[in-house]
Structure formats: structure tokens, C-alpha cells
Structure 1
Amino acid sequence: MTDRVCVGAISGSFGVRGEVRLKSFCADPAAIAEYAPLYSEDGARSFDLEITRAVKEGFAARLTGVATKEEADALKGLRLYADRDRLPSLPDDEFYHADLIGLTVVDPGGKVLGTVHAVFDHGAGDLIEVRGPDLKAAVLVPFTNAVVPTVDLEAGRMVVDPPDGLFEV
């Protein structure tokens, strides 16, 4: 598990007074402001955050140290991370995506299928992207209790009971 979790990204500037357009990855999108200070991925920069208004596909927000449109434009694409201890704890059957990435994926018999490379949420449910040396291409696995009955963060693995043919080489 990592010490910080990605909670949002800056998609550009908003207006001419240094505000940024912010996309939140939080279950409650407006809660992102409660997790400040937020950090760049490398931890070199930190920001306090004030949401000023809701806008299409996110929020307009002010970040400390960003005063001009040019400074806001320069942050486009920057992912924002919060310290894990600032985030709410989750129920036993929920996980932060960052905790799933890198887990070893095994079938019910213990055979290694690959590693979790990414987690996608397209609205209808999460998909786990599994990559492995024996796979010709990445495999997308539905992240449901039926297909993924066990996630063991301490052991660094998840058990996947794939539908027939999903992992055929």
C-alpha cells in the first residue's frame, strides 16, 4: 500500500484569475477539499485547495501558490495525491484502486495469471486490467464478488475465478 492516494487531476485553467479546472476521483467529489494538503505525484509540490464552484465535469478551484492563468495552465494534467491517513477508512469489501494495482492475480487453484496493472471505472462497474508474461494482451476482468471472490492486500494477491476462455493464451 502506498502512503498517498490519487484523489484528482487538474484538467486546465478556469478563467483568467488563476483558478484551475479540477476533476475529483473521490466517491463524494466535493470531499477532495477535505483531504488537503494535496501533493504532486513526486511530492515536490503541495497545495491547499478551495473549491469555488461546480463546473461541467468537475470544479473550479483555487490552489495555494497559483495566482495567474499561465500558472494554472502549466498545471494541466497534474494528478493530485492525498495522504492516506486523511482519507476515510473503507468497509471490508471496498478498496482504494491504488491498493489493487500491483497485486498478483491467481486462479482458484493458485496458478499465477498475471498482475493487476490498472483499475477502470466506466460507470457500470470496475474492471481490473491484468497483464502477465503468458498473456498476449492485457485482460480486463470484471471486479465483482463472483469473479474476484478474494482480495488479500496483506498477501499481495487476489483470486480470480474467470469466465471460461477469458485467460486463454
Structure 2
Amino acid sequence: MKVRLATKEDSETLLALIQLKAGFDRNMKGFNGEVSTTVEKIERTLFGDLPFAHALLLEIEGKAQGFALFHYRYSSFSGDPSIWLDDLLVVDEQRSKGLGLALMKAIKSQAESTLASHIAWTASPHNTGAHQFYEKLGAEIERMEGARPFFRWSVS
């Protein structure tokens, strides 16, 4: 198993994983739209001169089995950067094998190397398995918007 930063050459793979994530989220009632991004948009926005986000790919024997998409945020009041985790997915047949943990540890490593204070994200209210996983990591529910939890994982 290997977790690495995605490159422009991974754009098609990222699009396929984003489409899988959208399907998963639809099943969890966390998303009801359509994916409108394209390989070209991914190349421009993730791998252009000014990347707006970053992606980690988790591979087993050279085949992508999961990904995490994140971007940095900045608080002018505290002067601290943080990471917003937009997407996290492990493909169906690879779930419950520790791959999600490997991706989360890799994101935490990114946060530590950039001196980010924390990682934040949200999850579908219906994905209680994910909620338990995040809480086992040490993440806390920072706030609720209706039934939707917003998680925060502090970086030491």
C-alpha cells in the first residue's frame, strides 16, 4: 500500500474516484446532484500554476483504491492555517481494511508539515460508521448543522 500526492497524470483516475464518491454520497443521502467536473477542470484547478486543492491517492499494487481531496484555509484572527477535507473515499471492496486510516494519517502528516492547526470536514448524518471511525481517530464533533456533524481533528 502506498499513499502519495496525486499528479496531473492522475486526473482521469481522480475523476473516476470523484464519480464513485458522488455515488456513495447519494446512497448516504449526502449529495443529490451530478458531477460536473472534467479531466480538464481537474488538471487546471488541482495541477495548474495556482492549485486550489490537493489530492492524495492510495494505491495497492499500482491501482488506486482510495483518495482524499483537501485544501488549505487560513484564519486571520488566529494566524493559523488549517485543512478542509472535502472528500475521502476507499473503494467498496477495500473498506474495513485500514485504508481509510492510512489516508487520514497521510492527511495529518500534510497538516503537520504545513503547521496547520487542525483538519475539518463534514459527513452525511446517515453515515454513522464514518462518524464512529472519525471519533476513534480522536476527531471531535465541533458543531452540528441540523443532523449534519462537522468534525475537527487537532494537529499537535
TM-score by length of 2: 0.24
Report which of the two has the higher share of helix. 2
Report which of the two has the higher share of strand. 1
Structure with greater Cα Rg: 1
